[in-house]
Structure 1
């Protein structure tokens, strides 16, 4: 039976999400001894789903508090779930961060803490450093999101403006034993970068945070600049005693999801090419993907069709216009513009958390007919890209991918399906 390209793309996306879902990956990593009291805290888009797993598996006394993005909650019985804003923190995130610190602030050596961490935790667990207001952090965060800064650069600044990130949460838990279980949403899976590393040593410095703000010409209030010049703004460094009982474990990564999608593609008769975690401007990353797709269609290199190009990571968007759409819609719009209906090429780009930027879609799908159909509707891919309007473009084509919140997050997923086709 012939493969329906759009259905297969959606199946690959679903497979990638399932491979990173807490219900599938967390339980084997939990401590072998699950008796006795444990305090569970957590932050991120997968935090509530992770908390559900702990409640189900733990045999002793369980209590705690986790924060997740609005709409990403779960029905926990023993662990309180609070929802807050992402990607720009709000008062709910501020309040719950303070409560988390208070919850772990008076522990002893005999206490155990489980910290459930996933993408989005940096914004959701927002507690500004002394002398910095939530409004200050919100303004800096918004400016960083629009600047084109990488996730690593953004988190460097966030850590040094925080009372909880950059190892400071582990310091608050000391001398209790802390087990951090993390789902990675960042290229390279660095513990220091995932949600700004609340329980691990941080190698970045306040001077680097200042340099990032200067690099992207981001103006900040005098109190923020003064704080970053203050030695107290430095994060917890390697060798600090407070980290000696803090243990970090990755339980899911973008690579695992890409590999799961590759297995699914191979079973459907498509050779997979995994490009891995990628960074850079969404529209520029799309140009590279378009070049690879074109080379496959015309020359059968670096592999022959039928095949699928898979990639993940987190691209960035420098806001130029007033349109709607996140990183994935921007990527797909640029891909559409560059391929201009190249026969036999289909693509899906989506965020594995189910939300592309701040929209209600996870991503979108492109077909060989997308460019022509949009032109018939009076839509120019070039003009819409100039306006950052990927959402509007694919909404007009009825090509948005809507999943609702998935309650996990290994960041972006991109699949370009190439059928056997004759070059134009």
Structure 2
């Protein structure tokens, strides 16, 4: 008997996922990166699924270090992700499709940073989801248009970098515009990354960083995925009227940006936890992209190679990966990139003995469902057939969430108060 035979796959995999969540909790990573107080006011703004928890962590440290300084500001987070703060106003709005509450919150944020001086400083708290939560559109675009474009992008199969390139150019806040609005104050942005490669302009569509992409790039993406937009949008992208703020803009001179939690950090924490269980690990990458079901096929091939030949690592082991795959919606299900990947993986593995896997979004929401993801093992397909569930049909219909729900294999966390993208682990005994 080996050590791995003494515990369940589910127990082990959920422990790794929890380690990934723990390392990215705002109360652990925010305090290490806070700037010192300046002579003027300290204003806190932000957006994202972790922004309220980030604000709470900041507020606690600030009150301890500068008890006489009165913070002020406002952040917006997803419905259900608010936590109490004493000095910073917490607003909630919809994600992934923006709503009127997000529009109002965007306006409040913009008002909060108006009329600042060089002695003031703005601390900006940004995490994944911030793009949808700050939907203030560029001139000539309605909220309803933004909603329709966002929904079309989500269903198109475009990756997050492509989606956020479009969003940056149709926004009054993103693509560096929020930082420009804060000028001439000092701006310190603390980021929790949820995008492949930690691409700064793509995290919440880069509200405080310069953007190297252009209106022409956004127009190409709209044409590539045949996203319906108005003639006004087409004209303003074509003539450059919607151009974003570029990195050499003088209004960004007094801006600094720090990544405080990343997908790689989460994977390393999971690897450390696996070592504590006596299991070796291999990190395959923190920025894996592609169609979810195709990534599932590739990962299944790697898992079979490990199980059969002990390459590139010998069992018992766990294969770890992160990133953000995509789902091109063609069926009537609700999608969910992690569960679609996992169902494809299960079908490809064909109940291979001794292999189990977990895939989940670290924000607790996979696609449009308030479910983080799911877990499979070598009994998943057998139990599905016994329950008269056809896994191939569910995959074809983009309905993996219902498949795993009916098997009682969904992974439900509730709001995790952080977001470092997708987490995937394949355990091979």
Residue 213 of structure 2 is aligned to residue 209 of structure 1: no
Would the aligned equivalents of 1:184 and 1:250 in 2 still touch at CA under 8 Å?
Answer: yes
Higher mean Cα deviation, 216-225 or 32-41?
32-41
Residue 405 of structure 2 is aligned to residue 395 of structure 1: yes
What is residue 422 of structure 1 aligned with on the other side?
Answer: none
Measure how far apart 1:300 and its partner are.
1.0
What is residue 343 of structure 1 aligned with on the other side?
Answer: 353
Measure how far apart 1:34 and its partner are.
7.6
Among 355, 363, 371, the alignment partner of 2:381 is: 371
Residue 38 of structure 2 is aligned to residue 39 of structure 1: no
Measure how far apart 1:32 and its partner are.
3.8
What is residue 181 of structure 2 aligned with on the other side?
Answer: 172
CA distance in 1, matches of 2:273, 2:399: 32
What is residue 25 of structure 1 aligned with on the other side?
Answer: 29
CA distance in 2, matches of 1:342, 1:69: 39
CA distance in 1, matches of 2:173, 2:305: 48
Would the aligned equivalents of 1:167 and 1:236 in 2 still touch at CA under 8 Å?
Answer: yes
Among 130, 135, 145, the alignment partner of 1:136 is: 145
Would the aligned equivalents of 1:160 and 1:233 in 2 still touch at CA under 8 Å?
Answer: yes
Spell out the pairing of 1:47-196 with structure 2 (5 A cutoff): 47-58=51-62, 59=66, 60-196=69-205
Would the aligned equivalents of 1:325 and 1:392 in 2 still touch at CA under 8 Å?
Answer: no
CA distance in 2, matches of 1:379, 1:34: 61
Structure 2, unaligned stretches of length 5 or more?
A: none
Higher mean Cα deviation, 319-328 or 110-119?
319-328
Provide the aligned length of Structure 1 versus Structure 2: 419
CA distance in 2, matches of 1:56, 1:37: 17
What is residue 3 of structure 1 aligned with on the other side?
Answer: 7
CA distance in 2, matches of 1:346, 1:247: 42
CA distance in 2, matches of 1:408, 1:35: 31
CA distance in 2, matches of 1:232, 1:104: 24
What is residue 250 of structure 2 aligned with on the other side?
Answer: 241
CA distance in 1, matches of 2:252, 2:335: 40
- The TM-score normalised by the length of structure 2 is 0.96
Would the aligned equivalents of 1:269 and 1:306 in 2 still touch at CA under 8 Å?
Answer: no
The verdict on how the C-alpha distance between 1:122 and 1:164 changes in structure 2, with shifts beyond 3 A counting, is: same
What is residue 353 of structure 1 aligned with on the other side?
Answer: 363
What is residue 299 of structure 2 aligned with on the other side?
Answer: 289
Would the aligned equivalents of 2:381 and 2:391 in 1 still touch at CA under 8 Å?
Answer: yes
What is residue 275 of structure 2 aligned with on the other side?
Answer: 266
CA distance in 2, matches of 1:360, 1:45: 13
Would the aligned equivalents of 2:127 and 2:419 in 1 still touch at CA under 8 Å?
Answer: yes
Would the aligned equivalents of 2:41 and 2:119 in 1 still touch at CA under 8 Å?
Answer: no
CA distance in 2, matches of 1:219, 1:72: 32
Structure 1, unaligned stretches of length 5 or more?
A: 420-424
